[in-house]
Amino acid sequence: MGCDGGTIPKRHELVKGPKKVEKVDKDAELVAQWNYCTLSQEILRRPIVACELGRLYNKDAVIEFLLDKSAEKALGKAASHIKSIKNVTELRLSDNPAWEGDKGNTKGDKHDDLQRARFICPVVGLEMNGRHRFCFLRCCGCVFSERALKEIKAEVCHTCGAAFQEDDVIVLNGTKEDVEVLKTRMEERRLRAKLEKKTKKPKSAESVSKSDVVEEAPGPSKVMAAKPEEIGLDSREKKTNSAPRSAATNESSSGKARKPPCGAMKRSIAESEESEAYKSLFTTHSSAKRSKEESAHWVTHTSYCF
């Protein structure tokens, strides 16, 4: 039954108690959120974009995600709310002059300071390492610390001068409560955009439809609404138009040639009141009537023909 060879088991080997909850290292979590892309898990490199929920991405990774039409997208849940490139904003970040990166670590024996960040707030100078709350503006993409926006209250961006509203301020890597608030704002914004597209229909289509309605034939109600005098005139005109048509059909059926009316007799050009230059263009003019001797032969007697 075990315990052979004089082994003495301990209590924790025989009795299995409840498992301890694994604690996540906060420093490692902050480094992963602020230094790595949420979609591709690669180091953030410019151009860096942020979504409407405040998550950081590499722009190349977002474009590849949108172009990927496969059924199973890797890490699709992290960017399922991104439907197009318009749903992300390119960030304008201010570099930290004290950050050296991998320049001084040539031998690999240098200690990496996780508290040192690549970017800082351009107004207050706080480092963007997760210890302080940062936010960006959707209208221009400028990034500031939340302390700077609270201390310097203005309706204009501190760097580019673009006007913004409270709805344009998005917290970067916020808490669960912040993400829920941003999610509701995002849904309301998209619903508003859909309603605006439906209401703003092209006016040209409406004008074309109205013109089609006007050009349609009048219905019975319109005919009844006309005056009796107008109806009588229309019927008389129809009778007069139908009379010559019936006569023409009768003559054609009998085989007799229909004589032209007296007003339609042909008039010669010589009797017309036009100028002599205009009359000379026609063969009936006196200048065109020449004798055989005067008229030239069609063969041209020139040196080029011999």
Least confident of 18-32, 116-130, 188-202, 276-290: 276-290
Q: How many residues does the chain have?
A: 306
Average pLDDT over residues 59-68: 90
Report the percentage of the chain scoring pLDDT > 70: 62
Q: For residue range 102-151, what is the model confidence (pLDDT) as tens digits?
A: 666 666 666 566 667 889 999 989 999 888 999 999 999 999 999 998 88
pLDDT on residue 89: 94
pLDDT on residue 206: 63
Question: Dihedrals φ, ψ of 89, to 5°?
Answer: -125, 130
**CA–CA separation, 67 and 75 (whole Å):** 14
Contacts with 196 (C-beta within 8 Å, 6 or more apart), sequence order: none
Q: What is the pTM assigned to this prediction?
A: 0.58
One-letter amino acid of 142: C
**75-81 long-range contacts, CB within 8 A, separation 24+:** 75/39, 75/40, 75/41, 78/38, 78/39, 79/38, 79/39, 79/51, 81/51, 81/52, 81/53, 81/183, 81/186
pLDDT on residue 49: 95
Does the pLDDT at position 183 exceed 50? yes
CA separation, residue 88 to residues 53, 55, 82, 233 (Å): 10, 10, 7, 71
